[in-house]
């Protein structure tokens, strides 16, 4: 108990570090609902809009369109139009977007260990 109190006392004495600007920017973009899932699907290959929507259960057409626009504006996704017929639109990751593969892979590995299917950390890791 004395060790825990000592850690708590130290925590209150030292100022908390301010969050890094880079981390803030990452989560402002990728922390939005659906965005990470869209990137994860596009890591596999370029995908047409309808196929992308089917790959992400629960996302509306409007939300998918909005998130793709945000990703394109950020320079992570490119919209490619095939004049057809029929007209088809595909989306692919840019070099910058594809560079997220390693980071998302690390998050996938972390989730496999530290997040149960119910979204909670198993008891043995709650120390």
pLDDT, mean of residues 92-115: 97
**pLDDT, tens digit (0-9, with 9 covering 90-100), for 81-98:** 988 888 899 999 999 999
Per-residue pLDDT band at 11 (split at 50, 70, 90)? low
Q: How many CB atoms within 10 Å of residue 91?
A: 22
Of residues 124 and 5, more confidently modeled: 124
Nearest-angstrom CA–CA distance, 50 and 69: 15
Encode burial over 47-74: b for 16+ CB neighbours within 10 A, e otherwise. bebeebbeeeeebeeebbeebbeebeeb
**pLDDT, tens digit (0-9, with 9 covering 90-100), for 30-60:** 999 999 999 999 999 999 999 999 999 999 9
Is 80 exceeded by the pLDDT of residue 1? Answer: no
Using CA atoms in the order 69, 57, 120, 103, what is the torsion angle rounded to 10 degrees?
-40
Q: What share of the chain is helix, strand, coil (3-state, %, to 5)?
A: 55, 10, 35
Beta sheet of 47-48, edge-to-edge order:
47-48, 88-93, 77-82
Nearest-angstrom CA–CA distance, 89 and 82: 6
Read off the pTM. 0.81
Domains along the chain with CATH numbers: 20-96 (1.10.10.10)
Is 90 exceeded by the pLDDT of residue 2? Answer: no
């Amino acid at each position: 108990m004395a060790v825990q109190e000592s850690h708590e006392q130290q925590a209150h004495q030292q100022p908390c570090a301010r969050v890094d600007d880079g981390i803030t920017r990452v989560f402002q973009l990728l922390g939005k609902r659906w965005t990470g899932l869209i990137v994860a699907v596009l890591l596999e290959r370029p995908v047409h809009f309808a196929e992308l929507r089917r790959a992400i259960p629960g996302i509306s057409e409007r939300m998918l369109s909005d998130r793709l626009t945000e990703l394109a504006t950020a320079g992570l996704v490119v919209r490619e139009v095939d004049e057809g017929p029929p007209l088809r639109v595909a989306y692919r990751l840019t070099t910058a977007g594809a560079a997220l593969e390693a980071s998302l892979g690390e998050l996938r590995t972390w989730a496999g260990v530290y997040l149960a299917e119910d979204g909670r950390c198993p008891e043995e890791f709650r120390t």
